[in-house]
Structure 1
Amino acid sequence: MIEVMVTGAYGRMGREAARTVWDADDMLLAGAVDGRGEGTDIGQLIECGSTGINIENDLEEFLKSKRPDVAVDFTGPQAVYHNALKYLEYGVRPVIGSTGLDAGQIKEIIDLSEKRGIGGLVAPNFAIGAVLMMRFAAEAARFLPDVEIIEMHHDQKIDAPSGTAIKTAEIILEQRGDEYKQGLASEIETLPGSRGGNFSGGIRIHSVRLPGLVAHQEVILGGLGQTLTIRHDSITRESFMPGVLLAVRRSLNLNKVVYGLDKLLFETV
């Protein structure tokens, strides 16, 4: 049995992850950590009755005493980087779904994990369809290199743009090259920011935050007399769970943290 802890267990994604681990035949829910809900039996949140597993609020104390195989982290931008370093310090494989890590922090996590031989995953998006959307967009950008990204999330998401949008722009740049410069150099914004954020090479990213949304993204590519739109929608948070299970299982056979679920889906590690 794979012993799995969930950090950020009180939140919506954390609850879904805890429920998924609890129901998995080859996993044991080893514990739940969150700054909120201390002392609450996780069973109350995942609707499975009493489990005897109460939410704890001290991550380091939990890691010292339990040392699970894998930590699934759905916290937030303020905590996830320091959490990742703690997992690696205690030999726990991190599976991180929280976004907000910058490129330097991701590199540091990967480098440290490689030194220690500890596998894991940092994934901007765990939905299989979202990973396919990014892959299809990168392929399409070979032929239609002018592209803009619109990402839409619930109004409780505090970081923008989303990790999925950044990852999408990164793989498009890998495919088409950063030397391609789309857009007008003389473009004027009468309302600053109205054209979205300029990621690199002219790729614009637009972020929408509204109640009623979960996680959605459109990649719009333009060419002579035509456009191509590639869109993915996560309607419920359950959509992320097959990817979480895949990452937990595969992390046991990795000797470093990898960035992006695509690395596991397409066997590039």
Structure 2
Amino acid sequence: MIKVAVSGAAGRMGETVCRAVAEAEDMELVGRADPRLGTSVEEAIADAEVMVDFTTPDAAVGNARAALERGVHVVMGTTGADFAQLAGSGRANLFVAPNFAIGAVLMMEFARRAAPHMRECEIVELHHDRKLDAPSGTAKRTADLLRSAGANVHEPIHSVRLPGLVAHQEVIFGGLGETLTIRHDTTSREAFMPGVLLAIRRVRSLPERYVVGLERLLFD
């Protein structure tokens, strides 16, 4: 059994992660950290092997550092912070994913493959009105992948924040007399759970101490 703690456990994503971990046959939820629960990260990870973090950009780096220094592996779902500064720190592995939805990773992969053939493109990302960072981590990751494939990504990335949305992104390519749109829509937070559980299962055996992107677990 993989012993898991969740940081940000009282948030909407945190609550969803807690349910998914509790229902997984090979995992045990051993700690829930959140100021609203009166439980610190240090308390929550006391018996944990892996910590999953869905908090805020200003809290996530400190949370990850605290876990890594105690030998607890980290699955980071919070975006908008610089986690590269933690690469190789502590005594455990750090896995960071801008997006845990399998479909979102496929959307980025298909866009990356299209980029050499239709180089002009724009990114539009749409999220709920309580998301703190803009553009999203997924959009920035997509832009990096497209540029590495030779695309001319038009700036700025277009960010929409409205109630009623969950997480959505489209990459629009334009060519002579044609356009190509690759879009992914998340309609519930459960969509992220297969990717989160995959990361929990794999984070302890990563080939490197610091790994970014769910595609590293799906395609490598």
TM-score range, shorter chain: over 0.9
1:76 corresponds to 2:53: no
In the aligned structure 1, how far is the partner of 2:156 from the partner of 2:111? 14
Question: Aligned ranges for residues 1-269 of structure 1 at < 5 Å?
Answer: 1-38=1-38, 56=39, 58-63=40-45, 66-101=46-81, 105-112=82-89, 116=91, 118-176=92-150, 182=152, 202-254=154-206, 255-267=208-220
- State the TM-score, normalizing by the size of structure 1: 0.78
Are the structure 2 counterparts of residues 18 and 62 from structure 1 closer, same or farther at C-alpha, using a change threshold of 3 Å? Answer: closer
Deviations 1:90-147 (A, max 9, x none): 111000111111xxx322222326xx4x223100000000000001111111111111
Identity of aligned residues (%): 54
Q: Tell me which amino acid in the other structure corresponds to 1:77.
A: P
Gaps of 5+ in 2: none
Question: Which residue does the alignment assign to 1:48?
Answer: none
For the pair shown, the structure with the greater C-alpha radius of gyration is 1
Residue 82 of structure 1 and its aligned partner are, at CA, apart by: 1.1
Give the whole-Å Cα distance in 1 for the aligned partners of 2:183 and 2:47.
40
1:87 Cα deviation from its structure 2 partner: 1.1
Cα deviation code 1:244-264 (max 9, x no counterpart): 000000012124121010111
Unaligned ranges ≥5, structure 1: 39-55, 183-200
Aligned pair count reads: 219
**Match for residue 194 of structure 1?**
none
Deviation for aligned residue 1:203: 4.0
